[in-house]
Chain A
Amino acid sequence: MEPEEHPNATAVRRFIDAWFDGDFATWTALAADDIVIHMRGKPAIDGSYHGEAGVMLFFERFAAALVDGFEMEVEDVVADDRYAMAIMRSEYRRGDDSVVLRNACAYKLDAGGRICEAWNVSDSQGPEREFFTLVDAHPSGLGIGQGPQ
């Protein structure tokens, strides 16, 4: 019999699903008010995004960088009362460009099971950096490497 999944692993799966589905109401409900998302190695969206306003800016920049969308598949999530790690396969597309990555996505959770910090690394950092550098002008007018610190 498979051991029961930790509730924080379930929360992270819902968090990722809500992100993929664009369900921001669910996504923000699973996030702490002072959530921080760290993005590095993706020049068009690099930065540390704080709180709801930061998250909305991150959503805008991410959507602008991926005109033609993305796919995400969660392979596994491990979690305890404080931390979680998701192993994921991601594919990002823009015009004729695409990149396929496997990511280790780290999460810190508060005592209420809400995600308060997130950061990640992929298995193909060079191609990932190149893909997210090719964006020289977002529809929103945001440029390269202007993520908030």
Chain B
Amino acid sequence: MTEHAGVARARHFLEAFSQGDEQAMGDFFTDDLAWHVAGSHPLSGDYRGKEELVAYFCQLRERTDGTFALEAESVLATDYHTAMFTRATGQREGRTLDVILAHAFTVRSDGQWREYWVCADDQDAEDSFWS
């Protein structure tokens, strides 16, 4: 069975993320995307703009001394939306993160992602980790 193009695209994004390739990560999104980080920690909230999103990805790395990592559990796609379920791990100030992050993307007709949501199965653990 042929893999949906949206699945391949999401896997390429995860590769860029693992390589810390900020320019490549930004190229997946529209300039004016809306994005939403669940929870009550300092990085949570509703935001707009690609530059800020790339800065957020950098924060994930910087605040964990480069230990923050995403490992794909499932990558799913239709023509209109893409979803990734990833195991997120990291170390920060003596704390350990190990949660499942659900990522959802709304896909523009040209394939660019124009909206992004992310939330954890154990939101309390994620809030404690980043706070």
Contacts and interface: CB of A to CB of B under 8 A. Distances in A.
A137 B78 CA distance: 42
B102 A104 contact: yes
Interface in A10-27: none
Given A40-B38, A80-B74, A87 B119 contact: no
B52 to A, nearest CB: 16
A97 interface: no
Contacts of A103: 117
Interface residues of B, number: 32
The secondary-structure label for the interface of chain B is strand
A79 B76 contact: yes
B70 interface: no
B46 A125 contact: yes
Contacts of A119: 102, 119-121, 123
B69 interface: no
Given A87-B104, A119-B121, 6 more contacts: A85-B81, A87-B81, A104-B36, A104-B83, A119-B120, A125-B46
Interface of B: 34, 36-40, 44-46, 73-74, 76-78, 80-83, 85, 100, 102, 104, 106, 115, 117-124
